[in-house]
């Protein structure tokens, strides 16, 4: 079912503040979707509205063919795991997982089978008798997910599910959580401010900014064809560098007051747009270190370098603008002037004023 969850122009105000500005999104059954955006952009508010814990000011939501307006949270059959995923400390793991089933007055035998099924899914089947404080952070988080799954939710909502875990655990739980989604066959909407989490786990990502969705697409779409400069600099590690270039009267381009003659392919793309100024978005792994006088290069000065294992990230300055370059060869000296040549097909072009991407590559 392609329109399993359908969010139609949902808006939310708190007093005078418009926190969600008409969000529309259609999600297929079985999809794993991430809502990605900086803190405060409205992600949790949208999740709460879907779950029924918060009420929309305008718009409507349909889940599995049913409009949700007026349906109370506990009748929506939506499993929610919040950031804090607080377990009940005085209840065992199994009792925690059974909590939602008891609330629904499910019979004992069926409830026990469901608890077992949910604990199996999160691979904690032998820890049902433990108390929460006897578990690691990662295990507690899986109990919270089992608790949400036990009700066999029509939809699983995860709000920053990994943010309480340490950095190393977070990476392995990312894989676990995605595999769990596939095993359980749920439809999942995960909220995160961490682009790496969203890009690595989700089938599709909605990039949110200031209460609106700025792009909706596969992780690859968003990385390769960001809709605007904000998204280009929000996804990727490191994020894309932005450089402003100005068309020169005599032909050719300038970065600051230094002349730059792009390679033919890029020059053609730049000529295809009329703008006098353009913001170039350059990914660190798609620009090469070359001689200062190499064709297509602009000159820049090395300011610092980071060792990353397997390579380095070099930071250059070019007339007050900064650019990061991934580089595996020998490192220039600080202050040394080198040539940088962006790969023509991979440069992203953005409007200097609106930030919108300007050519369809
Ligand atoms: N109950 C509330 N009352 C007033 N403002 C709120 C309330 N909940 C959230 N907000 C505001 O709405 C905005 C979005 O919040 P939230 O949805 O939590 O963002 P995110 O999850 O993306 O960090 C923030 O500016 C926040 O302060
Ligand atoms: Mg939040």
| Atom 6 in ligand 1: residue holding the nearest Cα | 14
What's the number of domains the chain is made of? Answer: 2
Last residue of some domain: 161, 193, 226? Answer: 226
How far apart are the C-alpha atoms of 238 and 327, rounded to whole Å? Answer: 13
Residue where a domain terminates, one of 226, 251, 283: 226
- Could you tell me if the CB of 39 is within 6 A of ligand 1? yes
CB 141 less than 6 A from any atom of ligand 1: no
Q: If you measure from the C-alpha of residue 85 to the centroid of ligand 1, how many angstroms do you get, rounded to a whole number?
A: 19
Q: Pick from 345, 307, 338: which is nearest to 323 by CA? A: 338
Give, using CA atoms, the residue closest to atom 18 of ligand 1: 44
40 lines ligand 1 (CB under 6 A): yes
Per-residue tokens: 310: 């397997």
For residue 38, the ligand 1 atom closest to its alpha carbon is 22
The answer to whether position 33 is within a domain reads: yes
- pTM, two decimal places: 0.91
* Residue 114 lies in domain: 5-226
Does the Cβ of 44 fall within 6 Å of ligand 1?
yes
Q: Is the peptide bond before 124 cis (omega within 30 degrees of 0)?
A: no
Residues 248 and 275 in one domain: yes
Atom 26 in ligand 1: which residue has the minimum CA distance? 40
- Asked whether residue 234 is assigned to any structural domain, the reply reads no
Query: What's the CATH number where 320 sits?
Result: 2.40.50.140
Ligand 1 pocket test, candidate residues 12, 38, 42, 193, most atoms within 8 A of CB: 42
What does the pLDDT profile of the chain (361 residues) look like in tens digits?
Answer: 889 999 999 999 999 999 999 999 999 999 999 999 999 999 999 999 999 999 999 999 999 999 999 999 989 999 999 887 789 999 999 999 999 898 888 999 999 999 999 999 888 989 999 999 999 888 998 999 999 999 999 999 999 998 888 888 888 889 989 999 999 899 999 999 999 999 999 999 999 999 999 999 999 999 999 999 999 999 998 899 999 999 988 878 999 888 999 999 999 999 888 889 999 999 999 999 999 999 999 999 999 999 998 899 999 999 889 999 999 988 999 889 999 999 999 999 999 999 999 977 6
Q: Let me know if residue 356 belongs to a domain.
A: no
Q: How many Å lie between the centroid of ligand 2 and the Cα of residue 47?
A: 9
SS (H, E, C) the chain: CCCCEEEEEEEEEECCEEEEEEEEEEECCCCEEEEECCCCCCHHHHHHHHHCCCCCCEEEEEECCEECCCCCHHHCCEEEECCCCCCCCCCCHHHHHHHHHHHCCCCHHHHHHHHHHHHHHCCCCCCCCCCHHHCCHHHHHHHHHHHHHHCCCCEEEEECCCCCCCHHHHHHHHHHHHHHHHHHCCCEEEEECCHHHHHHHCCEEEEEECCEEEEEECHHHHHHCCCEHHHHCCCCCCCCEEEEEEECCCCCEEECCEEECCCHHHHHHHHHCCCCEEEEEECHHHEEEECCCCCCCEEEEEEEEEECCCCEEEEEEECCEEEEEEECCCCCCCCCEEEEEECHHHCEEECCCCCEECCCC
Q: Are residues 195 and 248 both part of a single domain?
A: no
Question: Are residues 180 and 249 located together in one domain of the fold?
Answer: no
Mutate to test the pocket of ligand 1, among 45, 53, 80, 157 (most ligand atoms within 8 A of CB): 45
Residue 269 in any domain: the answer is yes
- Do the domain assignments include residue 320? yes
Whether 130 and 200 map to the same domain: the answer is yes
Question: Quick one: 126 and 253 in the same domain?
Answer: no
pLDDT at 312: 95
Same domain, 29 and 174: yes
Kindly state whether residue 361 falls inside one of the protein's structural domains.
no
Same domain, 145 and 257: no
Regarding whether 271 and 159 lie in a shared domain, the answer is: no
According to the model, what pLDDT value does residue 361 have? 67
């Amino acid at each position: 079912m392609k329109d399993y969850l359908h969010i139609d122009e949902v808006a939310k105000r708190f007093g005078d503040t418009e926190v969600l500005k008409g969000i529309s999104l259609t999600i297929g059954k079985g999809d794993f979707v991430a809502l990605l955006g900086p803190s405060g952009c409205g992600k949790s508010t949208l999740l709460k509205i879907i779950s029924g814990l918060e009420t929309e000011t305008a718009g409507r939501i349909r889940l599995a063919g049913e409009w949700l307006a007026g349906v109370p949270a506990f009748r929506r059959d939506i499993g929610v795991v919040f950031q804090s995923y607080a377990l009940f400390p005085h209840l065992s793991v199994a009792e925690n997982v059974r909590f939602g089933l008891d609330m629904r007055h499910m019979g004992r035998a069926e409830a026990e089978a469901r608890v077992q099924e949910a604990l199996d899914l999160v691979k904690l089947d032998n820890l049902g008798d433990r108390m929460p404080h006897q578990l690691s952070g990662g295990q507690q988080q899986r109990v919270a997910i089992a608790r949400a799954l036990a009700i066999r939710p029509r939809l699983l909502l995860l709000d920053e599910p990994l943010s309480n875990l340490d950095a190393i655990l977070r990476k392995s739980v990312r894989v676990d959580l995605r595999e769990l989604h596939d095993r359980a066959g749920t439809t999942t909407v995960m909220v995160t401010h961490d682009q790496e989490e969203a890009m690595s786990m989700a089938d599709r990502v909605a990039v949110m900014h200031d209460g609106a969705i700025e792009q909706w697409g596969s992780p690859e779409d968003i990385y390769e064809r960001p809709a605007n400069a904000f998204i280009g600099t929000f996804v990727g590690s490191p994020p894309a560098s932005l450089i402003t270039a100005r068309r020169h009267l005599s032909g050719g381009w300038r970065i600051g007051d230094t002349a730059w003659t792009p390679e033919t392919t890029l020059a053609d793309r730049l000529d295809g747009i009329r703008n006098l100024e353009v913001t170039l978005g350059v990914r660190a792994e798609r620009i090469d270190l070359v001689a200062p006088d190499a064709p297509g290069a602009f000159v820049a000065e090395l300011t610092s370098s980071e060792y990353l294992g397997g390579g380095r990230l070099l930071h250059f300055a070019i007339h007050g603008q900064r650019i990061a370059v991934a580089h595996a060869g020998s490192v220039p000296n600080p202050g040394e002037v080198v040539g940088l040549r962006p790969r023509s097909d991979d440069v992203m072009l953005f409007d200097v004023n609106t930030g919108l991407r300007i050519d369809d590559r």
